[in-house]
Structure 1
């Protein structure tokens, strides 16, 4: 019996990217993912038993997000290095003439599930190359998973050994326990063992809910109640995890036969460019004549690339458990020495983490580890709390370097109450300034710049344990390496800056980015207060409204159904109620927001459904997570990421307070829960049209400059110039879309989608705009040429976003240019807000005036009621005069008791 190989392409590519070191070719282009994929392709071809291969790809507009908007919402943004390599890897499949399939609205797993069913019916065995547990549900006697790295098959027995259930019950298992990686809810508190017990007794979800009376015999009363209350969530989870098996009516598997000639021959030029010499040797059966090291030694290649250090990284670990020896060493450190510092903790939550120990280095060779709170049997001597505090205070008198030092400063403050030193530097920030698109974690940078692999955290700390359980000698090795690596990395980056003639970056770091670390430290430490009662009441109120709205919908529909199932909803709306069918999709008709808006007035059920969805999202995306993250003081401490974007704009996480909707009622209700403490007010100072003002500044367009200098409605003036004075007010929104769209590289297609007009009409509007503002068009075209020529876009203060155009397809090149134009405006706006924050912080940083949040162009403060009006005027003046542009800067100021009142 022949076998069909189905490859979970993206799953394998992502795994390759994170598993392999961050490799780059001589031009600085990332190649780790491509190397992994090239090896996979080699394995496919050299296995003589493989006749048919299909690469399953992800489709756009995932239908699961329409069922449950929070699906996969917790996943982090993909790293830029990964995004650069993805289209190349996918392009290889096409170049080699191999078969790939994707389906609009569906995931690769759905494609694999559907192909598997057809293949088995046609007499094939199916081997699925994947590590994704979601595919375990497909395993049977004819279908199995295969790990191409470990060369092992995963069948029914392996599934049971790993999860305690067989593949036929895997959907039920996932429905109960959920899946944190995909943000599938399941039932909170139901773990694998409970799920296994339920499945052993009830076999499936339907049988479980048909026999709730006997559930208490299997699980505790509390768990039984939880299962009963979460029926809707379980069925929603089941729908999310169940793979589609009916995407194809039929499939010609002969089209997936591997070509007789080696398909890898068609991409050997790419292998040469990406320096895959061992693979080339195997394909061409030729000796390797040029090593990667030799090529790298010839020079920098592409801008943004940093060659590895010629000297090999090494360090010595020194464990300090004697107080006398510790302070003798500290006293020997020269006053002008630079000291690298790192802390070890029991948690990644900097606000609440307990320090377990700290390490430091001041000579680039010796790392010293000071254990203070390791906790295991026979731990031995450690430095006491008071001595540790005194030691850190001594270290903080020196010029201090850290890698993501903000974390360490928060930990030190939380444990000892010590404030940050005045002279601090950060190798993560410095590395980001050198190349904002590169990975700037310590491990990745040491691999990239020193070809040194750091001791992995998981090799030191056992699973489900924390650093305090680690043997202090082993901990010393790990922590000392971090301190020495940070020290050496600092000087390596300074050398790179000098070699690349980028000395201005030192000033940018010293004058802005390093002081900015202290500002973020204070903002994160202070947090912002929430009205817990408001959110608790909102949660109860939303639950009641959700139930009420469900009842209304069921009355309108004259039946009960799963509201979160597009398929069931489509059946109700278009088959039962006979509503107007707007857009057909696979398996029925669309019920997305756009569709519902079009049939909004056709039936009273439609507004109810839209209201239900908003309530459901409000409760599950915002209210419940915020209540979980609050501290004992009822404050939310978001974490600001200084190096989280390529443009320089801040991002935030845990929670992300920069993504709360601004204009919707949903967003206002959430913001209402963020409040000022007693006797204080919240103050908002917000830059008005900052990026559009920067467009006027950079382009020097006379009409735009005049409009801002005269403080007229620029969008209305633009509409008058594009259309006519009579049409201007009616078409102001079009002018506004174009004004802002140009900054983000928007073309006619995107404008047509935004305004819901024909592409020809959108093209005409853009042409009219450029005819009215020829200087703007000239500036944008000039900037694109400069980005192509220089390989980078540059902001007002000199932050650079690098691009490597060598070997880039037209599609990738177009994306780079759009990103580059956006970086100029968004990055320059970030420069201005940072300058403002620094000046405000230098003037105001006390208990009566605190900077709490930065949300892109808006700053939010907590100020005493007596001072708030005057402080608002002063901060407005600071921000309006922070930098001399060709047009005036302008801020809006608002005051309120909660965030919702500030807009």
Structure 2
């Protein structure tokens, strides 16, 4: 199967929950349980849940809910929804039951005070589009028609089981989705008491929109309205028309889905999670059906719920605090956690801390709660004394890197780490969620108190009532403690206790490296970014003008819908990929069309320039300008990838484009301090060297041991001596492509040759390097047999082949090969970083400031440049003994841009 087929756009399904439940109530007969409780709505709801995977496939799902009370629309028009009839009592009885089941089954809800579910749906759809997701909205409500975009967003009617796209919208109302708010502004909506233009009906509204397009355009051209009566009605109701447009226009900025994994389909069978509850309502048939046939998507049996007994105690005086700390037995394991005013450790102030040293009790120490009427709390001095005492025990922390910085900057104490549960959980399964909430849910089926339920939006933890803060913070410490011991059980159960040694020998030490690197920061030349911002904006404007000229019309280049029409209808290009709801214009599609029309490369240039401006240039400039030293401080994530590579955030420095000139210009803004140079050292062809090491292929091993150019040697083997020099780049593509599961189709697309030619190249490669194919196959076989793959230092990545469909299985095998090499390369650079840090951590002549995949960037004192650089090179080349030598390349310059 082609690798390309595995990269289909992912889908999020958003449920218009109340709309669906209301419709279920009226669609089904008035069913009742044996004791007379109405169950029609509940039956319809559970039938819907049981058909997920049958009626539609989805990767993510979220149930949007209306909040209680008025919304912002009532402030615009106080009669909004004022004439709605009373809801039937049987419906009112069932609604809260259905809502409570949603989260009990493991699904995610979205709700926000002051907004309607439709606004949340619109915001989620907007955010999902930015994340390149397909959006299915489960609803038939016409208020949501304005969101339809045939390329990415459509409605799904769960009763009729049909898709409502642009064609259906136009067929029913005679207007396009992007005209729907204007149409509703004229027509009004009696159900919601939206006034519209009194006297204007559906046909009139349709005719006006068809002629003038928008409400604004109608009034700008009011003299051109042909029928006098229409003109009179429009003029008399102008204010109400524009108020109506405000009322019907959905908000797109009140909800986001940044943590997508929270919205994945529940892994445990959602219906069986509430089977006891369903039995109380006599909904046993659906449970029997699920037990017999399962669900339409793969699930696991629910875990038995463990009831956690706990005792959370507030220690709000010095005396109480000292008494408890003095009672902790010597050598105890103590879980520790902090509560602060911000996630940014550079500005966060400590509000309190919690700790736990047994399975049933945890304690919270308030320090700086500052709300009106807040009681006396433990002083900073007494808190510092207590933390110094706790530091003598074996501290267990979830995400130690954060708490270390908080305690260091607030108390000037360096916490000692015994174990970090986030690292242990990641070592156990690097592909699963490792946040505290997820671990508590996974191992104990325990739902943690949510931050949003404790801290009001816009506030921080210092405003939280101390008793509520105690429950929230002490729970964090207790669960950290319990999870640590649960993880130890899991390492033993899964026969991988060697991972505990890896944690102690490498991963926990690596946290210190990252803390140091983050706090060093990197200096930015803000003037370079200011100039680049202006230049890039001008470049974007030039590209916009050129695209419009080539298209023969102006349009929104950032709209996939409009771009699709331009390319595949106006310009007549061949649409290589069309989804259920329209044309795809993603990068894969455009790259295939790059030679079809001169507009395509210009669009690709535009997209890159636009992304550079919004993702890198402007955010980096703002961060650097707000720092007194013009430094930026990224946050490196040790557990951010399944392979073991570092990722970074706030800002993400791993993905600044390497090949574009603008990307290189951005790198020039990263500079050394006065008196220092930047030194970049990266492993040369590290993954190919690892291939030689693991496969022991003689031709590869001999080439590296003889220090030959591996790409030239590959070209000689495949194409012969005469053509080798001109074919070196093709050989390079093959060398790296095969490491990541590149098949003949993908290679053909990359090299712009036929799949048949590509297959000949790949066959020739495997004939030349006889052990490679067999070794690649052995990685796959090992993964299939054992359910995991191991890196150089024996880190594991787990794959659940048993629950995988055919496409996932193929993807897992490709990822297994990828992890073997990319993960092992990550091991090597991690080992080097630890050794360099331990040697130079107190030396002001060298600072480690960045790690970008296989490259390390240091700031080195000018006078010590040669001496230190040679030492760094020596450490990195001798960090691990392989079958072939490790080599690094070194570059020196005043900026990151100079290092390439």
What TM-score comes out, normalization by structure 1 length? Answer: 0.69
Instruction: Report what 1:901 is aligned to.
Output: 898
For the residue of structure 1 that corresponds to 2:352, the secondary structure is: strand
Contact 1:668 1:900 in 2 (8 A): yes
* Aligned partner (choices 391, 406, 412) of residue 417 of structure 1: 412
Instruction: Report what 2:486 is aligned to.
Output: 492
User: What are the equivalent positions in structure 2 for 1:248-259 lying under 5 Å apart?
Assistant: none
- The reply on whether 1:781 has 2:777 as its aligned counterpart is yes
- The reply on whether 1:502 has 2:496 as its aligned counterpart is yes
* Aligned partner (choices 431, 447, 450) of residue 425 of structure 2: 431
Instruction: Report what 1:858 is aligned to.
Output: 855
| Residues 335 and 530 (structure 1), Cα distance of their counterparts in 2 relative to 1, 3 Å cut | farther
| Residues 785 and 571 (structure 1), Cα distance of their counterparts in 2 relative to 1, 3 Å cut | closer
CA distance in 1, matches of 2:372, 2:747: 66
Contact 1:271 1:277 in 2 (8 A): no
Instruction: Report what 2:618 is aligned to.
Output: 624
Instruction: Report what 2:28 is aligned to.
Output: none
- The reply on whether 1:729 has 2:721 as its aligned counterpart is no
CA distance in 2, matches of 1:572, 1:610: 15
Deviations 1:731-752 (A, max 9, x none): 2222212211121111111111
CA distance in 1, matches of 2:744, 2:854: 27
* Aligned partner (choices 646, 668, 677) of residue 681 of structure 1: 677
- The reply on whether 1:445 has 2:439 as its aligned counterpart is yes
CA distance in 1, matches of 2:291, 2:565: 65
Deviations 1:581-631 (A, max 9, x none): 57688799989753785268x6xx888766655543332221111123334
RMSD value over aligned CA atoms?
4.8
Q: CA deviation at 1:410?
A: 1.7
CA distance in 1, matches of 2:644, 2:289: 45
Instruction: Report what 2:461 is aligned to.
Output: 467
* Aligned partner (choices 385, 396, 416) of residue 391 of structure 2: 396
CA distance in 1, matches of 2:390, 2:757: 65
Contact 2:151 2:584 in 1 (8 A): no
| Residues 124 and 474 (structure 1), Cα distance of their counterparts in 2 relative to 1, 3 Å cut | same
- The reply on whether 1:327 has 2:376 as its aligned counterpart is no
Q: CA deviation at 1:395?
A: 2.0
- The reply on whether 1:408 has 2:403 as its aligned counterpart is yes
CA distance in 1, matches of 2:183, 2:351: 45
Contact 1:58 1:106 in 2 (8 A): no
CA distance in 1, matches of 2:270, 2:650: 43
Q: CA deviation at 1:523?
A: 1.5
CA distance in 2, matches of 1:841, 1:720: 41
CA distance in 2, matches of 1:499, 1:589: 47
Instruction: Report what 2:693 is aligned to.
Output: 697
For the residue of structure 2 that corresponds to 1:342, the secondary structure is: strand
Instruction: Report what 1:260 is aligned to.
Output: none
Contact 1:307 1:449 in 2 (8 A): no
Instruction: Report what 1:21 is aligned to.
Output: none
Contact 2:421 2:484 in 1 (8 A): yes
- The reply on whether 1:660 has 2:656 as its aligned counterpart is yes
Instruction: Report what 2:740 is aligned to.
Output: 744
* Aligned partner (choices 326, 335, 341) of residue 336 of structure 2: 341
- The reply on whether 1:767 has 2:763 as its aligned counterpart is yes
For the residue of structure 1 that corresponds to 2:891, the secondary structure is: strand
For the residue of structure 1 that corresponds to 2:384, the secondary structure is: helix
User: What are the equivalent positions in structure 2 for 1:142-291 lying under 5 Å apart?
Assistant: 282-283=284-285, 286=288
Q: CA deviation at 1:159?
A: 11
Instruction: Report what 2:89 is aligned to.
Output: none
CA distance in 1, matches of 2:709, 2:520: 38
Instruction: Report what 1:881 is aligned to.
Output: 878
For the residue of structure 1 that corresponds to 2:312, the secondary structure is: strand
Q: CA deviation at 1:569?
A: 7.5
For the residue of structure 1 that corresponds to 2:794, the secondary structure is: coil
* Aligned partner (choices 152, 156, 161) of residue 107 of structure 1: 152
Instruction: Report what 2:240 is aligned to.
Output: none
Instruction: Report what 1:832 is aligned to.
Output: 828
For the residue of structure 2 that corresponds to 1:368, the secondary structure is: strand
Q: CA deviation at 1:388?
A: 2.2
| Residues 829 and 77 (structure 1), Cα distance of their counterparts in 2 relative to 1, 3 Å cut | farther
Contact 1:277 1:288 in 2 (8 A): no
| Residues 205 and 803 (structure 1), Cα distance of their counterparts in 2 relative to 1, 3 Å cut | farther
User: What are the equivalent positions in structure 2 for 1:749-760 lying under 5 Å apart?
Assistant: 749-760=745-756
- The reply on whether 1:543 has 2:534 as its aligned counterpart is no
CA distance in 2, matches of 1:691, 1:159: 65
Q: CA deviation at 1:204?
A: 5.5
Instruction: Report what 1:372 is aligned to.
Output: 367
CA distance in 2, matches of 1:159, 1:439: 45
CA distance in 2, matches of 1:573, 1:805: 41
Deviations 1:151-183 (A, max 9, x none): xxxx8866989xxxxxx9xxxxxxxxxxxxxxx
Contact 1:343 1:408 in 2 (8 A): yes
For the residue of structure 2 that corresponds to 1:712, the secondary structure is: coil
| Residues 369 and 858 (structure 1), Cα distance of their counterparts in 2 relative to 1, 3 Å cut | same
Residue segments in structure 2 that go unaligned for 5+ positions in a row:
1-8, 18-39, 61-125, 137-147, 196-201, 203-212, 223-250, 256-267
| Residues 800 and 159 (structure 1), Cα distance of their counterparts in 2 relative to 1, 3 Å cut | farther
- The reply on whether 1:706 has 2:707 as its aligned counterpart is no
* Aligned partner (choices 480, 498, 512) of residue 518 of structure 1: 512
Deviations 1:762-817 (A, max 9, x none): 11111111111121111111221111111111111111111122253332211111
- The worse-fitting range, judged by mean Cα deviation, of 492-501 and 793-802 is 492-501
CA distance in 2, matches of 1:306, 1:160: 48
Alignment coverage as a number of residue pairs: 712
Instruction: Report what 1:358 is aligned to.
Output: 353
Residue segments in structure 1 that go unaligned for 5+ positions in a row:
1-7, 17-38, 60-69, 79-85, 90-102, 126-132, 145-154, 162-167, 169-201, 212-236, 242-269, 293-301
Instruction: Report what 1:12 is aligned to.
Output: 13
| Residues 667 and 401 (structure 1), Cα distance of their counterparts in 2 relative to 1, 3 Å cut | same
| Residues 661 and 556 (structure 1), Cα distance of their counterparts in 2 relative to 1, 3 Å cut | closer
CA distance in 1, matches of 2:448, 2:585: 50
| Residues 483 and 898 (structure 1), Cα distance of their counterparts in 2 relative to 1, 3 Å cut | same
For the residue of structure 1 that corresponds to 2:801, the secondary structure is: coil
For the residue of structure 2 that corresponds to 1:482, the secondary structure is: helix
Contact 2:306 2:445 in 1 (8 A): no
| Residues 448 and 209 (structure 1), Cα distance of their counterparts in 2 relative to 1, 3 Å cut | farther
- The reply on whether 1:892 has 2:889 as its aligned counterpart is yes
Contact 1:795 1:828 in 2 (8 A): yes
Deviations 1:556-596 (A, max 9, x none): 889866555678779999999xx895768879998975378
Q: CA deviation at 1:831?
A: 0.9
Instruction: Report what 1:177 is aligned to.
Output: none
For the residue of structure 2 that corresponds to 1:364, the secondary structure is: coil
| Residues 15 and 715 (structure 1), Cα distance of their counterparts in 2 relative to 1, 3 Å cut | farther
Q: CA deviation at 1:413?
A: 2.2
Instruction: Report what 1:718 is aligned to.
Output: 714
CA distance in 2, matches of 1:743, 1:109: 38
CA distance in 1, matches of 2:179, 2:478: 44
For the residue of structure 1 that corresponds to 2:789, the secondary structure is: strand
Q: CA deviation at 1:416?
A: 2.6
| Residues 705 and 670 (structure 1), Cα distance of their counterparts in 2 relative to 1, 3 Å cut | same
CA distance in 2, matches of 1:657, 1:551: 31
Q: CA deviation at 1:683?
A: 1.2
Contact 1:523 1:851 in 2 (8 A): yes
CA distance in 1, matches of 2:818, 2:560: 36
